[in-house]
Amino acid sequence: MNQSLDEPANAATDENQEIDFLNGASHAPTSESSPPMNVQTNEFMSKIAREIDEEVRRKRAQGAFPPAFERRLKTIFEQLVPPGAGNSRKDFEALLRSSDRAAYFDIDVPIASQKPGVTRVKKLLRTTQAWYLNYLAQQLNNFSTNLMRLLYVFDSRVKKLEDASESAKTVRPSGTFLKPYYVTASGLDEKLLSSMGEPAGRVLIADCGNGYLVNHLNEHGFDSYGVDSNLESLENPVVTSLDLRWQDLDEHLKEIADDALFGIVLQNTSDMISPVEKLDLILQARRVLAPTGNLAIISIDPRFFETSSELLVQRDLSPGKPFAPETWRYVLEQLEFSNVSTTSFENCHLTMGYFTNNDAPGD
């Protein structure tokens, strides 16, 4: 049993305080809440953010950030996070073991003291109150034991779901087996350009491949960038200075702030995922689009998808199949997009949607 003294904190306590401090806690017994930022502070933070953003853009234009750079950097950062401080499976297991060790309540309190007579008083108090503390400790220990058993059962059940999900991911557009199919059609890029209207913000090209659409929009004054989960498609960009990122589309959208983008172009992934995931993808896209933004969906013609020998693997492995353009129009209209229109090309369709009260550019 560890004996505690009435003297100031010993070396072990100092070490614990240092660890707490490194984890973000204050050495003070009661830490005061931070004062609200004033106007000057907000302006300074905004200035720093703009400078960082400009520097990143400059580095990207120089080709200093290859597509896989950010993803690898994020992976390295997650590996350096102290156990239990992140959101990974290992972090959860570390917290579960730590909680299990702390789930037992001991009434045998320490009585050692360097002050004369205090040890005897502490011992007397512990002896006279042992029956009461023991009664409380038994109830708390019973509850904590049952709670930890419940957590272990919950952990086992969740792990089975995670394992099943990880297995399914290998045959998804971002997985190992299901390779992307990039739609190409004569006149598609020009129609997309005219439908986007005048540049008024950043444009995200999903499943950008080698960055052809990104480069095409940039050449006409747009500030566009691309995201693709297939690294092989990003390794030979049409222009090395393009802002192309190796990341899953759903993860990327979740990291974007509300109303941050002027336009989004969806393709490839939006065809291969399940209907529920398609709807969730559109909801995420709507969240990050600005009130004056627009959404473009480049979809494979369902008849071409069902008959083409080029898409044999995609038909067999993909969780879903392409929506018909009528279905995409219905979905966008239900989500309050206006002026929804579809232009058909060879083996594909371009469906454009604009927010309500936002007039579409003239055709």
Could you tell me the CATH number of the domain that includes residue 199? 3.40.50.150
Phi (first) and psi of residue 344, to 5 degrees: -95, 140
* 127 occurs within a structural domain: no
DSSP 74: H
* 321 occurs within a structural domain: yes
**Count of beta carbons in the 10 Å neighbourhood of residue 29:** 5
pLDDT for res 171 = 56
- The parent domain of residue 324 ranges over 188-355
Is the pLDDT confidence value at 140 over 60? yes
More confident residue, 318 or 85: 318
* 225 occurs within a structural domain: yes
Is the pLDDT confidence value at 27 over 50? no
Is the pLDDT confidence value at 354 over 80? yes
Q: Which amino acid is at 132?
A: Y
Is the pLDDT confidence value at 323 over 80? yes
Confidence of residue 104 (pLDDT cuts 50, 70, 90): confident
Is the pLDDT confidence value at 4 over 70? no
- Structural domain count of the chain: 1
pLDDT for res 44 = 83
* 295 occurs within a structural domain: yes
* 241 occurs within a structural domain: yes
Confidence of residue 159 (pLDDT cuts 50, 70, 90): confident
Identify which of 230, 248, 249 has the alpha carbon closest to the alpha carbon of residue 180: 230
Is the pLDDT confidence value at 51 over 70? yes
* 260 occurs within a structural domain: yes
Give me the mean pLDDT over the 321-338 stretch: 94
Q: Which amino acid is at 43?
A: E
Is the pLDDT confidence value at 303 over 50? yes
pLDDT for res 55 = 80
* 196 occurs within a structural domain: yes
| 6 touches 114 (CB < 8 A) | yes
Q: Are strands 223-228 and 244-246 parallel, antiparallel or unpaired?
A: parallel
Is the pLDDT confidence value at 344 over 90? yes
Confidence of residue 176 (pLDDT cuts 50, 70, 90): low
Is the pLDDT confidence value at 192 over 80? yes
* Average predicted confidence (pLDDT) for the chain: 80
Tokens 């004033």, residue located: 38
Beta carbons within 8 Å of 358's beta carbon, 6+ residues apart: 291, 292, 293, 294, 338, 339
**Count of beta carbons in the 10 Å neighbourhood of residue 35:** 7
DSSP 176: S
* 258 occurs within a structural domain: yes
Confidence of residue 359 (pLDDT cuts 50, 70, 90): very low
pLDDT for res 165 = 66
pLDDT for res 318 = 87
| Spatial distance between the Cα atoms of 125 and 109, rounded to a whole number of angstroms | 10
